[in-house]
Every structure is written in C-alpha cells, then in structure tokens.
Amino acid sequence: MSSESASLPFKLYCLTVMTLVAATYNVLVRYTRTTSPEKMYFSTTAVCITEVIKLVLSLGMLARESGSSSKLLADLKEQVLCNPGGLLKLSVPSVVYALQNNMAFVALSNLDAAVYQVTYQLKIPCTALCMVVMLHRTLSKKQWFSICTLCVGVIFVQWEPVEATKVQIEQNTFLGFMAIVVAVLCSGFAGVYFEKVLKTSDTSLWVRNIQMYLSGIACTLMAVLLKDGEKVVKHGFFFGYTPWVCFVIFLGSVGGLYTSIVVKYTDNIMKGFSAAAAIVISTVASVILFGLHLTLTFLWGAVLVCVSIYLYGLPKRDTSTVSKECTDLESKQKLITVHESS
C-alpha cells in the first residue's frame, strides 16, 4: 500500500492509536519511575527490551507481507544480512532514537508528566525545520505561522498550574529540562531522517524497521553496559520488572511501530498536528464524560489549535511562491527575447 493508496479512515485510525498510546505511555513511564524507589527497574534495560520486541513484531509483519517462509528468508538475506549499506544507513536514526528514548526516561523521572508533555511540543517547529533542511520541503509563511500557533495553542490547552504530586524520589528539574531539549532535537532529526530513507526507495517499511531495530538493540545494549552494567550484573537484567513496567514496555513497542506506520502514510508534521488535535478532543471528551470544568486558558488554546490546523491545511500559495513564479516567467521571457534577437 503506497502513501497515496492508504485510505483516510486507515490514516486516521493509525494517528489515533499512536496518539492514545503515546499519552498513556508518558503517564505510565512517569508512574513507574516515581513509585517503589527501593525496587526501581533499570530504564536502559526497558529501552533495550522495547527494541527487541519491535524487531520481533516487525519480523512477523514482514513474514505476513512476504506470504511464504522461503520468500521471507530470501528477503531477509538479500535486504538485511547481505546489505551492510542499508544497515549502516539505518544505524544513524537508531543511535539517535536510542538516545532520545533514554532521555525520555530521564525527563519523566525528574519532571511531572504534564510539564513534560507541554515542553515536548517544541518538537513540532524542530521537526518542521528538519523537514525543510533535510527533505527540502517548502513551507509557506502561513504554514510556519500555523506551526507556531499550534505550539502556543497546545501549551495553553495543557496549561495546568496544579501543585506537583508528592513523589518518593529525588528530582532534578534542570536535568529533566536538559533531557527534554536533547529528546526534542533527536525526535526532529531522527523522524525526518527515517522518513527520507523510507520515501526515497521502494524498500518495505518492515525491512527498514528491521534494519533500524537491529542496530537499535546494539546501541541500547551498549547503554545498559555503560550506565547500569555493574548493577545489572548484581541484581539481574529484569530487576524491578512489575506488571506495570511490562505494560510500559509493551506500549513503547506498539507505539514505536504505529509511529513508523504514521510516518509512512502521512508525515512527521501531520504526526505533530494529530497529537495536538487529540489533546483537545480528549479534554472535550472528559468534559462530556466526567464533567471536567474547562478553563478560559483551555478554550483559548483549543481555538488556537483549531485555527492552526485550518491554516496549515489551506492551499500553499503565498506571495513568496507567486513572486518566484513571476521571476521564473520574467527570465523565460528574457531568454525568448535574446533568442529571437540573435
């Protein structure tokens, strides 16, 4: 299925699942990192196991796509084992994602989940910038304006000046914010890099994922050794794995795979917009279902998010494009005149 042939309901379904999983994932990471500090799991091992599960699931999806085991083995041999160039290409986003996924744990161990979500919205302009630089995508002034409006809108919508809940662990706010800055830069770069690799060849999404997760496992294992090596030897790899931790790992794996599908059938900016829309919709649903009271800040934020989505979707034809077309036309006319006179 090419990005054009994917139906709108399918795209909406993938965007919705990805966004719901991401919201639950962030809250649960925070929960598992702030309860039972005496039996705290090693976040590096959780990130590593997530990569392993994503690899297994991607192998399953490739098997389904291939249709027969002989075709699967041939595909794996040709496109993965005998393709060091492909593995090397995908090792770039896998290193960056390994860093980002570890930083998310650092940030959520030191900051409230709501504060994290708000600050993490900086990834939207960062991603847009990467798309312009790396994919040579042109965004009109209107679209840039809508991206900035979206950021402000999301910050307003999630603005919740409630007192942070008392947690049993020591927190370092500065470290948390620094981790978010690194995660934002990594998310923008790796997301757009992956999109570029995926959309500039016919190679299957699942082959690309397998290539990325193979080096992802190597990188995240390295992080386990460097950061928690001694403790893992002493207490075991799965120390502190409660059912909630296992659920976090499950969500991390499913969320990662849905992210890859969303990037294939839409793009990284759509990914950002859908998350913003979902935040508004889920809050409105809470009003209807649970009688939540809306604040004026939320309403302003919701208006800004809706306006930004509308503006972003408007046909791209701003003055800079028109003036470029005029300049092109002028130079063509000059060429014709020179040609006729000679």
Q: Is 271 in the site for ligand NCC (CB under 6 A)?
A: yes
Tokens 């809108």 found at:
153
Count helices and strands in the chain by DSSP H and E runs = 13, 0
Q: Is 41 in the site for ligand NCC (CB under 6 A)?
A: no
SS3 214: helix
The tokens for 108 are: 């959520």
Q: Is 191 in the site for ligand NCC (CB under 6 A)?
A: yes
Shortest Å, Cβ 184 to ligand NCC: 8
Q: Is 143 in the site for ligand NCC (CB under 6 A)?
A: no
CA 286 from centroid of its chain's CA atoms: 25
Give the separation between CA 219 and CA 240, rounded to whole angstroms.
22
Q: Is 122 in the site for ligand NCC (CB under 6 A)?
A: no
CA 225 from centroid of its chain's CA atoms: 26
Q: Is 97 in the site for ligand NCC (CB under 6 A)?
A: yes
Q: Binding-site residue total for ligand NCC (CB under 6 A)?
A: 22
The tokens for 254 are: 């499913």
- Tell me which residues in 5-24 interact with ligand NCC (CB under 6 A): 18, 21-22
Give the separation between CA 102 and CA 321, rounded to whole angstroms.
41
Shortest Å, Cβ 334 to ligand NCC: 46
Residues 6+ apart with CB under 8 A from 89: 197, 211
Q: Is 187 in the site for ligand NCC (CB under 6 A)?
A: yes
Q: Is 153 in the site for ligand NCC (CB under 6 A)?
A: no
Shortest Å, Cβ 25 to ligand NCC: 4
- Residue 305: Cβ within 10 Å count: 24
Q: How far apart are the first and last CA of the chain?
A: 53
In the list 34, 101, 158, 266, the residue contacting ligand NCC (rule: CB under 6 A) is: 101
Shortest Å, Cβ 21 to ligand NCC: 5
The tokens for 275 are: 């998350």
- Tell me which residues in 192-221 interact with ligand NCC (CB under 6 A): 194, 209, 212
Give the separation between CA 189 and CA 100, rounded to whole angstroms.
11
Tokens 């791209």 found at:
316
**Per-position x/- string for 45-64, each x denoting binding to ligand NCC as judged by CB under 6 A, each - no binding:** ---------x----------
- Smallest CA-to-CA distance from 122 within 161, 160, 178 is with 178
- Tell me which residues in 289-328 interact with ligand NCC (CB under 6 A): none
In the list 15, 96, 104, 304, the residue contacting ligand NCC (rule: CB under 6 A) is: 104
In the list 259, 265, 298, 312, the residue contacting ligand NCC (rule: CB under 6 A) is: 259
In the list 125, 176, 256, 301, the residue contacting ligand NCC (rule: CB under 6 A) is: 256
Amino acid letter for position 192: V
Of 255 and 301, CB closest to ligand NCC: 255
Tokens 């639950």 found at:
24
SS3 137: coil
Q: Is 33 in the site for ligand NCC (CB under 6 A)?
A: no
Give the separation between CA 131 and CA 124, rounded to whole angstroms.
11
Q: Which stretch binds ligand NCC (CB under 6 A): 80-88, 160-168, 253-261, 279-287?
A: 253-261
Q: Which residues bind ligand NCC (CB under 6 A)?
A: 18, 21-22, 25-26, 54, 97, 101, 104, 187, 191, 194, 209, 212, 251-252, 255-256, 259-260, 271, 275
